[in-house]
Copies of this chain bind each other. A is one copy, B any other.
Amino acid sequence: MNTFSIAIHGGAGTLLKGQMSDEKEIAYKSALKSALDKGYEILLGHGHALDAVVEAVKILEDSPLFNAGRGSVFTATGNHEMDASIMEGFGLEAGAVSLISGIKNPIKLARDVMEKSGHVFLAGEGAKQFAKNLGYQTEEDAYFYDALRHSQWQEIKGSQHFQLDHQTQKDSKYGTVGAVACDTFGNLAAGTSTGGMTNKKWGRIGDSPMIGAGNYANNATCAVSCTGNGEFFIRGVVAYDVSCLMEYKGMTLAEATYEVIHHRILKLGGEGGLIAVDTNGNIAMPFNTEGMYRGFQKSNGDQMIAIYKE
């Protein structure tokens, strides 16, 4: 049987040891473990990588700790605009949504776009109409309300500043969640979801819903989910860049992800990280920031849940 594995992330940024209470650290790790366990259980039961990715991301979206779904940050107008994308590596099918509000699990809607819309990328009110046609219920604002998120917004509301979530200090962190998986059939999938940036305006779209930038999967190479300052990740076409370095230059997953995160994107000025898996179940989780909420579980027993640099 193929080695199978799953990796997840909950965002990268200036996460310095000692700045977070032990309780909070435990809460983050516990949420990561829940997501990882759920995804791994699906793979263990010979489920599809796509299902494992969606279910893992849903758990991270349902947690108020991460900037996606329920924990999404506030935009400049006090709303929530969420983005998500998904791709599977067998048929290179993909789906994405952007600038949506009121949807509990954007990753599920991204999958429905892939499977039921005849399109890849839907945004805004139109995407919401598509969801409505499928019978999606919309959540009240209260579901997305979080005191910390609200105070983060109040601090910079009315200013020209925007912040990449989540931050306890004034320096930036990049709030996104994501999962990548390789199933027992050797199929890959990647999913990414985000609530964007605090005080975000003008209908800004980051890399998370952009296939090739923040998310990509291809059974010929790898599945990738990114987190970082999205503008740089778009300009670097980061997720597909990893795939191309493997396909066209013959790099391994570890080599390609290192090259992109520690050389190519850094040269552009991009900060963040990514998680990636190949069809042998190998995992790479490089980041060029101080920390990244992350974890993985492989069928050979290897596992890790971590926040800071090792």
Contact = CB atoms under 8 A, between A and B. Distances in A.
Interface of A: 87, 92-94, 98-99, 117-127, 129-130, 201-206, 210-213, 216, 230-231, 234-237, 240-241, 244-245, 248-249, 268
A125 B204 CA distance: 10
B203 A124 contact: yes
B125 A203 contact: yes
A233 to B, nearest CB: 9
Contact of A211 (B93, B118, B213, B216): B213
A98 B203 CA distance: 10
B126 A204 contact: yes
B268 A92 contact: yes
B92 A234 contact: no
Contacts of A231: 118-120
A90 to B, nearest CB: 12
A248 B99 CA distance: 34
24 contacts: A92-B236, A92-B268, A93-B235, A99-B124, A117-B204, A119-B204, A120-B230, A121-B205, A121-B210, A121-B234, A122-B204, A123-B203, A124-B125, A126-B201, A126-B204, A127-B202, A127-B203, A211-B235, A212-B237, A212-B240, A216-B237, A241-B244, A245-B248, A249-B249
A123 B97 CA distance: 12
A235 to B, nearest CB: 5
